[in-house]
A and B are shown apart, each in its own frame.
Chain A
Amino acid sequence: MSAEVFSLFYQFADVFAFLILSAAGLAIVFGMMGVINMAHGEFIMCGAYVTVGLVNLGVPLAIAQILAAITAGLIGVLVEFLVVRRFYKRPLDSLLATWGLSLIVTQSMLLIVGSAVRGIGTPEGSFAIGGYTFSTYRLVLFGCAVAVLAGLYIIFMKTRFGVIARATMQNAAMAKALGARTGRIYAISFGIGTGLAGLCGALYAPTMTLIPTMGATFVVESFVTVVIGGANVLLGTAPAAVFLAMIRMALNASYGQIIGQIGMLVAVILIIRVLPEGLSSVLVRRGR
């Protein structure tokens, strides 16, 4: 019996980790700046490629993954400085600009590195409970997702940067008047967002085929999680992921991946009819 329960938890953890890891970066950028980064998938791809490249050079996997996340973060700061910075007053244009960027990056990668790169294979290791075997790496991913949530909580709730960042999120002009360097806060937040995207790519790199268009695999999940989470991403993202993971797990188990994805999308479309501001609006109201 406990084996079945654990199996259910394992499936939930798998989907939950995927949703959190792919959405966290997008959610931070959206929550801070109201900008949806359409090149999110390309930062994920960047993280994956850097990881695989470093591992093929002989760097241990864990270190390669951390370096990949840092690389994606630094590139993100650069992109913020060169492009995104100009569009904070025109969020729709920032969507188009980052989408243009995403097209350029994906297609240039196809031109330069070609369609497939030698992968590195999922780290070995499994354990058995009852009659079932489980991959250890999937649980590591779940651990990472929880660690990302905890890390974000600490950064935004317990540090000085977090206080200033939340102040900027609430009222940028007022925060600026009080002496916060909002430009720098935005750049750092964008860097954290893209760094998390890079981390997602780095963590999933061993489990999937590396192609320049791999970012597209993640964007639907990250979009719907952010939509359901709502405007207050610090509050909304985790419950949204739990909720969507439940739906997805139930459908995946009985009907397969694609029906799971369709079901998730249908759920999202039904929910925005009732809760257009997402789950966080309900939670905020409860909190008051």
Chain B
Amino acid sequence: MFRLLEGPQTLGRGRMFWSCFLVVLAGALAYPLFADSYDVGNFAYFLIWIFMALGLCLMWGYGGMLSFGQTLFFGIAGYGYGVLAINMGGGTATIAALALSVALAMIAAGILGYFMIWGGINGIFFGIVTLSATLVLAFFLGQTAGPEWHIGPARLNGFNGMKGMDPLAVGDFYIEGSALYYVMVALIVIVYLALRMLVNSGIGNVIVATRENPQRAEMLGYDVRKYQLLTFVIGSGLAGLSGALYTSWGQFITPSSIGLPAAAMPIVWVAFSGRSDLTATLVGSFLLLFGFQTITVYSQQAALVLMGALLLATVMLAPQGFVLGIGKLVADRWRGRRRGEGAALAEAGRLQSEES
């Protein structure tokens, strides 16, 4: 089973790659020992969004389904966690709330995905139908300010957002600060490795085959719709995991984390990083989140302008993604293939032309 950690669908193999992986992991684990708790909390905040990015990478990069609905499922699970945590009370029940809210997001993804995939909706329409659903959810939640909008004791509160739910807890122990950080790191390692195994497995190969040519995959005897639905549910479920963790992290969620411009963020992360590889997405998303947060302190608008500019620059200059391109360049250098930058760039160009 662990053989599947490496394979044709993922970059990075061999001793070199995995020792880098272990060094980064060790650094991540040691980090709270050196940093103050405020920084650790911030770091945990960046990590929240990684799941969503990995989910989109799976759907878009591997499955060829460009979903603009990551924040839709983020919102469903985020609000779901809030409602469940308030209704079921704090303590260990919050773990159940987390699991249930992610399941809720996956069920929603299953329903929406069924209609789109069995209807045969393709590329562009897939994007705008998911985005329409996302915006409608944001508008709906935005007008739930009145006291009549409540589920049990949980008030939805319109644009001001829902608050007052307990954070994740085991018994009396709240999972906050460093503890939350370690939970996040563990979850990311699990999700990252599991996704690597998934895409290198037989299922993953069918998913990629469907991306390359749905008719051909179908002729080979696979019901591609089932594989697409599976991809969509997993990818959206990961967005849901981000959502539930986000609500638990800040004990707060508003419709603005669902609507525009939030819905564009996962697209920017994954496009910039390089959608066709999980590792590139992991690294790139983290870097972008870090940069974004640093600029947001001064001006949120400026940070969003930069995000838009990055998206535009990515599709115009490096449609495969910047992080992926640089990573490939470094890897080629490392292997001592003295082909130089020119050859590597030429290869990147060749890959692009194949894409189009």
Give residues in A with beta carbon < 8 Å to B: 34, 36, 83, 86-87, 89-93, 95-97, 99-108, 110-111, 213, 216, 219-220, 223-224, 226-227, 258, 261-262, 265, 268-270, 272-274, 276
Q: Mark out the residues of chain B between 131 and 155 whose CB falls within 8 Å of any chain A CB in the assembled complex.
A: 131-133, 135-136, 139-140, 143
Do A227 and B119 touch (CB < 8 A)? no
In Å, the complex CA distance between A91 and B261 comes to: 21
Instruction: Choose the segment among B9-17, B98-106, B122-130 that binds chain A (4+ C-beta atoms closer than 8 Å).
Output: B122-130
Do A87 and B135 touch (CB < 8 A)? no
The reply on B259 being an interface residue by CB < 8 A is yes
Do A100 and B315 touch (CB < 8 A)? yes
In Å, the complex CA distance between A177 and B133 comes to: 42
Contacts A104-B305, A216-B135 supplied; 16 other A-B pairs, CB < 8 Å? A90-B355, A91-B123, A92-B66, A92-B127, A93-B315, A95-B127, A96-B271, A103-B308, A105-B308, A107-B301, A227-B125, A262-B140, A272-B115, A272-B116, A272-B121, A276-B120
Do B129 and A227 touch (CB < 8 A)? yes
In Å, the complex CA distance between A276 and B125 comes to: 10
* Chain A residues, Cβ within 8 Å of B119: 272-274, 276
Do A269 and B308 touch (CB < 8 A)? no
Task: Indicate whether A265 sits within 8 Å of B308 (C-beta atoms), given known contacts A90-B319, A97-B316, A272-B116.
Answer: no
* Chain A residues, Cβ within 8 Å of B66: 92, 95
In Å, the complex CA distance between A223 and B267 comes to: 19
In Å, the complex CA distance between A99 and B127 comes to: 12
* Chain B residues, Cβ within 8 Å of A107: 261, 301-302, 304-305, 308
Do A220 and B308 touch (CB < 8 A)? no
The reply on B309 being an interface residue by CB < 8 A is yes
Pick from A105, A111, A226, A270: contact of B115, CB under 8 Å: A270
For this complex, 25 residue pairs linking A to B, each with C-beta atoms less than 8 Å apart, are A36-B124, A36-B127, A83-B312, A92-B123, A99-B308, A100-B312, A103-B307, A104-B305, A105-B308, A107-B301, A107-B304, A110-B301, A111-B302, A216-B135, A224-B132, A227-B125, A261-B136, A262-B136, A270-B115, A272-B115, A272-B119, A272-B121, A272-B125, A273-B115, A276-B119
* Chain B residues, Cβ within 8 Å of A104: 305, 308-309, 312
* Chain A residues, Cβ within 8 Å of B314: 96, 100
In Å, the complex CA distance between A87 and B312 comes to: 12
The reply on B264 being an interface residue by CB < 8 A is yes
Quote the shortest CB–CB distance from B229 to chain A (angstroms).
13
- CB-nearest residue of chain A relative to B302? A111
Do A87 and B116 touch (CB < 8 A)? no
Do B319 and A93 touch (CB < 8 A)? yes
* Chain A residues, Cβ within 8 Å of B136: 220, 261-262, 265
* Chain A residues, Cβ within 8 Å of B125: 227, 272
In Å, the complex CA distance between A270 and B307 comes to: 34
Q: Mark out the residues of chain B between 186 and 210 whose CB falls within 8 Å of any chain A CB in the assembled complex.
A: none
In Å, the complex CA distance between A46 and B131 comes to: 22
Do A91 and B312 touch (CB < 8 A)? no
* Chain B residues, Cβ within 8 Å of A96: 267, 271, 311, 314-315
Do B316 and A83 touch (CB < 8 A)? yes
Task: Indicate whether A268 sits within 8 Å of B356 (C-beta atoms), given known contacts A97-B311, A103-B261, A220-B135.
Answer: no
Do A106 and B124 touch (CB < 8 A)? no
Task: Indicate whether A87 sits within 8 Å of B139 (C-beta atoms), given known contacts A111-B305, A224-B132, A272-B115.
Answer: no
The 6 closest A-B pairs by CB, nearest first: A103-B308, A100-B311, A100-B312, A104-B308, A107-B304, A273-B119
Pick from B131, B260, B267, B310: contact of A213, CB under 8 Å: B260
- CB-nearest residue of chain B relative to A216? B260
Do B308 and A102 touch (CB < 8 A)? yes
Interface string of B228-251 (1 = CB under 8 A from A): 000000000000000000000000
Task: Indicate whether A269 sits within 8 Å of B261 (C-beta atoms), given known contacts A90-B356, A101-B312.
Answer: no
In Å, the complex CA distance between A105 and B311 comes to: 13
Q: Mark out the residues of chain B between 231 and 287 whose CB falls within 8 Å of any chain A CB in the assembled complex.
A: 259-261, 264, 267-268, 271
* Chain B residues, Cβ within 8 Å of A258: 139-140, 143
The reply on B42 being an interface residue by CB < 8 A is no
Q: Mark out the residues of chain B between 292 and 349 whose CB falls within 8 Å of any chain A CB in the assembled complex.
A: 299, 301-302, 304-305, 307-316, 319
* Chain A residues, Cβ within 8 Å of B301: 107-108, 110-111
In Å, the complex CA distance between A228 and B157 comes to: 33
Do B311 and A89 touch (CB < 8 A)? no
Do A216 and B309 touch (CB < 8 A)? no
- CB-nearest residue of chain A relative to B128? A223
* Chain A residues, Cβ within 8 Å of B140: 258, 261-262
In Å, the complex CA distance between A258 and B158 comes to: 13
Do A86 and B316 touch (CB < 8 A)? yes
- CB-nearest residue of chain B relative to A219? B135
Do B132 and A220 touch (CB < 8 A)? yes
* Chain A residues, Cβ within 8 Å of B21: none
* Chain A residues, Cβ within 8 Å of B120: 276
In Å, the complex CA distance between A89 and B353 comes to: 11
* Chain B residues, Cβ within 8 Å of A224: 132
